[in-house]
């Protein structure tokens, strides 16, 4: 199997929308989420097929969805990221 390494910084529009949980959560974890002091959520993916990092700033349109998917997070906190179904 090939390992894919991805580093993406996603920048978008203000995410003042309500938090929505539209996707289901699978069992286990596909990596970790960390929130920085400015509220940026960084997802660090680890696995046999893919390794990667995605960063979501508060102004990203997907921010509320990511925040909801990981079940909330506070600055300085580190949490597991459940897989998407």
pLDDT tens digits for range 32-75: 999 999 999 999 998 776 789 999 999 999 999 999 999 999 99
DSSP 17-68: SPP---S-B-SS-SEEEEE-TT--EEEEE--SSEEEEEEE-TTSTTHHHHHH
Range name among 12-16, 57-61, 72-76, 80-84 with the lowest pLDDT average = 12-16
Higher pLDDT, residue 84 or 34 = 34
């Amino acid at each position: 199997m090939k390992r894919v390494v991805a580093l993406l910084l996603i920048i978008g529009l203000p995410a003042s929308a309500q938090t929505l949980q539209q996707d289901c959560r699978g069992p286990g974890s596909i990596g970790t989420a960390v929130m920085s002091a400015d509220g940026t959520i960084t997802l660090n993916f680890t696995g046999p097929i893919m390794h990667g990092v995605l960063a979501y700033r508060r102004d990203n349109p997907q921010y509320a969805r990511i925040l909801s998917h990981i079940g909330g997070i506070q600055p300085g906190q580190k949490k597991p990221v459940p897989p998407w179904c």
